[in-house]
Amino acid sequence: MSKELIKLMKVNNFELWRQKNHAVWKHNATGALVVTPKTPRSAYREIRNTMGVIRKEIGFAVPI
């Protein structure tokens, strides 16, 4: 898991809920779940894909 991902999730009000093979993040206000890989192939794509999932789940994403 990259430092940029952790920063992105904290800025968007997510906290790490659990982590085994994937990291599962829970939104503090709505309870929406976002699943991210622990070992991505590309850090850039990881951030871009996660921002897209956040937009779908809560309606907006604050970039880092």
Domain count, the chain: 1
Note whether residue 15 is domain-resident.
yes
Q: Look at residue 62 in the predicted model and tell me its pLDDT.
A: 87
pLDDT digits (tens, 9 = 90+) for 1-60: 889 999 999 999 999 999 999 999 999 999 999 999 999 899 899 999 999 999 999 998
- What span, in angstroms and rounded, lies between the C-alpha atoms of 41 and 32? 25
| Residue 19: inside a domain | yes
Q: Residue 25 falls within a domain, yes or no?
A: yes
Residue 63 counted as domain residue: no
- The pLDDT score that the predictor gives to residue 8 is 94
* pLDDT given at position 4: 93
What CATH number does residue 37 fall under?
3.30.920
pTM comes to 0.89
Whether residue 52 lies inside any domain: the answer is yes
Q: Please tell me the predicted confidence (pLDDT) of residue 10.
A: 96
In angstroms, the CA 57 to CA 31 distance is: 10
Residue 38 within a domain: yes
Range of the domain at 16: 3-58
